[in-house]
Amino acid sequence: MTEKQHGDRPPGLDWSRLHFKPRSARTHKVDVAALGRVTPPGCSFRDWLAGLPHFLGADEFRQTVDAIIAARRAGRPVVFAFGGHVIKTGCSPLVIDLIQRGLITALATNGSGAIHDLELAETGATSEEVAETIRDGSFGMVHETCERMNAAARLGAQGNGLGWALGQLLADGSARHKHVSLFAAAYAAQIPATVHVAIGTDTVHMHPQADGAALGAASLADFRTICAVVADLTAATPGGAGGVWLNVGSAVILPEIFLKAVSVARNAGHSLAGMHAANFDMLRHYRPTQNVVTRPVAPGHGHAVIGQHEILLPLLRQALIEEWRA
């Protein structure tokens, strides 16, 4: 055998041996029936939504809407689990409307979501420019927010949890803007609202009077509440619609809470059959993808819709109320 020389070309392929088939025998992912439909100026929202292409995110969005409507018609819960940016992007009134219509039946958030809800209700404003205030050490250094969160934590530590206590304080208090508080709305509607605190992640934890014991006890009570809510996501009848967990804008805390709650529920004998889970966020993150969309649910019951809250949530609300009244 001759030694291969540098620069030698490989032997050519016998192109006559390639196999071909007719196009009609090939499976296609794109069909003309799934293309977007041009809608006229002034069309209804329902017509506009129906005109979206039947691909990828548009179909994931439709499937999420269908799952929520099916869950509520079957009497199953819909949990809205959210991060602080949902409030910071102006979406509170939209979520409150869905609570009042009975389309959202439970809330869950992290410490950030609770803080921004509280400040917006009491002050009419929230959020600061971190890039500026972190430089002189003034970031998060206000006393009223910590005092109010301590009060809610101590009340919630008595057994009803931090979310319920925050809702009661806002609903029964003199907050000028309580009408935009998700926790006040949940308290008025008597639905579960939970806060899942990670000590050291919130501005109120920097205050020397932060009550870690009360925060921990109240947040643990909320974890047990959300476990019971998740257990109820099981379909009421074999093959029926289960409940829906919506993760909106939480990349770490709420996906971790959901995963543990799923394990608790199944360990206690609740199959979670029929449950759907959806993630709405600006980016695809590891934990929401694995802990919300993939691991906990049956194939086809996890949905990911990527986009900004201030666009997606108004679309979701309108799609839901249009379908709910149909």
Where are the domains positioned within the chain? 55-324
Domain 55-324 has what CATH class?
A: alpha beta
What per-residue confidence (pLDDT) applies to 213? 94
What per-residue confidence (pLDDT) applies to 9? 78
What per-residue confidence (pLDDT) applies to 308? 95
- Reported pTM: 0.91
Regions of the chain with pLDDT less than 50: none
Ordered DSSP codes for 106-168: EEEEEHHHHHHHHHHHHHS-----HHHHTTTT-TT--SHHHHHHHHHHHHHTTTT-HHHHHHH
What single-letter DSSP state applies at residue 208?
A: T
What per-residue confidence (pLDDT) applies to 208? 84
